[in-house]
Chains A and B, each alone.
Chain A
Amino acid sequence: MKFVRVRAVAKKEIIQIWRDPLSLTIAFLMPLIQLFIFGYAITFDINNINAVVYDRDRSYESRELVSEMSSSGYFSIIGHIDSYKEVDSYIDLNKAKVAVIIPEDFSKAIKTGRPAQVGVIIDGSDSNTATIADGYLNGIALQFSRRMSGVKIEPVIDIRSRVWYNPELKSRNFIVPGLIVVIMAVIVALLTSLTVAREWERGTMEQLISTPVKPAELIIGKLIPYFAIGLIDIIVALLAGVFWFGVPIYGSPLLLLALACIFMFGGVCTGIIISINAKGSQSVASQIALLSSFLPALLLSGFVFAISNMPVPLQIITYLIPARYFVTISKSIFMKGSGLETLMVETLLLTIYSAVVFAVAVKKFSKRID
């Protein structure tokens, strides 16, 4: 392998990237926008669930129940209604997710010590919100009962909950470390998947073939610039995550960067394999790249959706997704302060993956040149 030839290819690629300032801008802007959206717009905390109340009792007790609901902060009472028909229309039209129907004998029941029945209708279409709303209501029922009974009751079992690693349960703290992985996977795949396909489609590949450059040199030369862009992206995302969004990082950022390089090397090589396989069609290459890098990184890496929840065949597939290992690495370094010794297995698997992918890329490529 001659360094001069690698450098020449890299230089050509850099010039080509440089002449396309728009793609380059997007490559740098996209991570920031995603970070911005995830940091500000997306939370898993569910508050202010719209609720309507049909109070048929209109008593002190029923008003207390309603104020218990609104002061919990979980529900915002958007209206009081006077008929069952209105309940239907509020829920059908998505205006309210929860309807509470307080019966006429509510205060009487409370006073006589019978359990008072309250009708609740929850729009179950969004099952997640529905489950959580149901849980909140149960808490409110308990709270209200305690207040109405007036006596102090000690529960039999006293639960002490503690949350490790992320005591305030801020979703931002676990989203940012995972998001960095997704961003890298997407950027690297988007950029590299077209690089060889484009040469074929435009017919410039033949010129490259006629030069003395060897497959390994060509691939390394082609991947250097994309690798650099990915590296800048992750550094920017890291800085923004830590300094702008205040996500604490307990482990070593340098270790994270070093392992990110291994991960990215694999990603770049995968992109090039896709590009070689989709010979001639950039639109095919881009679709395959999205399917094989973006979706797995988003869905199968454990970034948002827990792997233990998936059906077993899918869980097995996740072992083949490099993003899975890197999400574990990133989250552990960020939140648990893990060092290399705890992350040995993941690091080893990532390294093997990257090496294999590189070998395959070189081999595939040499065949095409013959």
Chain B
Amino acid sequence: MFGRIRHMIIKEFIQTFRNRKNWFPLFLAPVIQLFLFGYVVTTDVNNISTALYDLDKSQESRELARRLQASGYFSITHYPQSQDEVRDLLDRGKTLCVIQINERFSEDIAKKRPAQIQVIVDGSDSNTAMIAMNYATKIINLYSAELAAPAVKAQLSRIDFRTRFWYNPDLKSRNYNVPGVIASVIMFVCLILTSMSVVREREMGTIEQIMVSPIRPIELMIGKTAPFAVIALFDMVVVIAIGMWWFGVTMKGSMFFLFICTPAYLLSILGIGLFISTVLKTQQQSLMATMFFAMPAMLLSGFMFPIENMPLGFQYVAYLNPLTYYLIIIRGIFLKGSGMDVLWPELGCLLVLGVIIISLSALRFRKRLG
């Protein structure tokens, strides 16, 4: 039995590596994905292009502008001179945020009347808009508090929140996203490779040669999945190495534990890939089906959008998704240094899901070939 599986695996490796063009998707694609996600998927908002419409031109208004600029969140790129110009800048998308300081701003401050400032944000990207508005409000409030009389100031700060951020004290989104990318890269590589490999044999007619050979379905199945699991693990090592050295992400937990958990995750992913390949006939179909599965799986996993914010029904769906559990595990290991004592429920769920999925596809696989 092991001899036959070995031959199958060798054949699969030869077939995969013979075509030089295969090297690109196998090894380069995950790296490109990591770089793209690592740099792009950041929810830190910086350098919001801002226009300052200063009607007051006083010392106070200049000080406020300086503070906005110095915060690093805003970069003041335009100085419009009229209401029309403000409209035009926003219409053309040249600035995301306009700070309008009204006339008599400094006068109002001096006379202790509320001095008005208008903050206009372009809501066409509501996330950035909300963050920009929060930052602007925070900076202006701080300035406002400094200008206030000491008695008022004391009234306004009756509570002093001493906030500490655990696990990711600098609040770098990269520390959270890079482990997520690793999980999704493994999913994509494994899914596409396994779902296409059996279908290709069928499409090219070589499946019949395999069927006349003495190999049994279960052996064929192992032979068809093991090489891709190995490739995925290899990709994972490469991506982790780049994530740590290039992006400076640190792994607080044990690498060994991560490698214990990963096969449980691979079980599910390979199972789904295999299932797709037993149901479908052409590579076109299997590619479409893979994407049909992978896109919702990515969206409903907590990879980019937290599960807690979803409506309850979608949360249930998310908890049927192996990626959800693996994300908790890999982020726990990277950020919190968690081990088996904390992550056993997730690992358990992953194993249960994996065993169910792989046995279902194994049953199906036998039928199709037998």
Contacts and interface: CB of A to CB of B under 8 A. Distances in A.
Given A127-B43, A331-B124, 15 more contacts: A34-B296, A37-B314, A92-B336, A94-B328, A124-B166, A127-B171, A128-B43, A157-B114, A160-B116, A162-B118, A162-B120, A166-B123, A283-B22, A300-B36, A308-B47
Given A37-B296, A41-B310, A92-B342, A174 B126 contact: yes
A283 B196 contact: yes
B287 A20 contact: no
Interface residues of A, number: 118
B298 to A, nearest CB: 10
Given A145-B155, A158-B115, A194 B291 contact: no
Contacts of B310: 41-43
Contacts of B90: 164-165
Contacts, number: 349
Nearest to B155: A149
Contact of B284 (A115, A194, A306): A194
A314 interface: yes
Contact of B299 (A38, A148, A169, A335): A38
Contacts of B145: 156
Interface in A258-284: 278, 280-284
Closest 3 CB pairs of A and B: A166-B123, A287-B25, A124-B165
Nearest to A289: B287
A64 B91 CA distance: 45
A163 B123 contact: yes
Contacts of A92: 336, 338, 342
B257 interface: no
Contacts of A38: 299
Contacts of B116: 157-158, 160
Nearest to A41: B314
Interface string B1-44: 00000000000000000010110110001001100110111111
A332 B90 CA distance: 11
Interface stretch (A129-137, A205-213, A349-357, A358-366): A129-137
Nearest to A145: B158
Interface residues of B, number: 116
B300 interface: yes
Contacts of B157: 115, 141, 145
Interface string B105-122: 000010010111111111
B260 interface: no
A242 interface: no
A116 B42 CA distance: 35
B125 A174 contact: yes
Contact of A144 (B159, B285, B300): B159
A125 B175 CA distance: 7
B254 interface: no
Given A117-B162, A118-B162, A332-B93, A20 B40 contact: no
Interface stretch (A6-14, A22-30, A52-60): A22-30
Interface in B162-215: 162-169, 171-173, 175-176, 188, 192-193, 196-197, 200, 203-204
B115 A119 contact: no
Between A132, A138, A164, A296, the greatest number of chain B beta carbons within 10 A of the residue's beta carbon is seen for A164
Interface string B269-294: 00000000000101111011101100
